[in-house]
Amino acid sequence: MGLTRWRDLAVVALIAAILAFGLLLWNYNRLPALPRLAGLPAALIGIGEAIFGWGLYRRIRANSGAAPGPGGSEQPRIGVAGQSGPDEVDPLTVARAVTIAKASALAAAAFGGLWIGTLCYVWPRAGDVAAAAGDRATALIGLLGAAVMLAGALWLERSCRTPPDQGQGPSRA
């Protein structure tokens, strides 16, 4: 399984943006005002994934035989080979984390596309329609929340990679 590709995320975001713009073009006057903090749950999910990713990253590095040294360089750990500690990472946990990260990245791309489509519709109308001015701020907050969610998901996915062995490139989870 490879890392999430940017072009896949871009395609999802583009499709979502086109659908959102079309829906708003057809039905904007019938929709209620968008909740101002609608993008906040996505941001909270992204922050949670980033925190979980950081913990998983540190546990994987600690169990790989190398620990981050001063300045972030990898240094060999001193210990008895084959001993498992309380920080041992279950491979199934890593597989689940990668699955969650990939799904969250696609969801964040879809949310981002929806907010981009909303922005494309309301931005030019913000001077003429009062609701569009409020929805513009909501869409900007939503887009920021989607970006935080995407960053958290991509960090979680990359945290699941094992460090490279001597002379090899990084392996993928």
Report if residue 166 sits inside a domain: no
Domain of residue 54, residue span: 6-28+36-64+88-159
Scored b (16 or more CB within 10 A) or e, 57-95 reads bebbbbbeebbeeeeeeeeeeeeeeeeeeeeebeeeebe
34, two tokens: 């968008």
E strand segments, the chain: 66-68, 74-76
Identify residue 27 by its one-letter amino acid code.
N
E strand segments, 3-156: 66-68, 74-76
Contact 173, 69 (CB under 8 A): no
Which pLDDT belongs to residue 86? 59
Tens-digit pLDDT string for the chain (173 aa): 678 899 999 999 999 999 999 999 999 888 888 899 999 999 999 999 999 999 898 888 887 665 454 445 444 333 333 445 556 778 888 889 999 999 999 999 999 999 999 999 999 988 788 788 889 999 999 999 999 999 999 999 998 887 766 555 555 55
Report if residue 18 sits inside a domain: yes
Report if residue 146 sits inside a domain: yes
Q: What is the pTM of this model?
A: 0.78
Report if residue 128 sits inside a domain: yes
Report if residue 168 sits inside a domain: no
Report if residue 42 sits inside a domain: yes
Tell me which residue of 46, 10, 11, 20 sits closest to 138, measured CA to CA: 20
What's the number of domains the chain is made of? 1
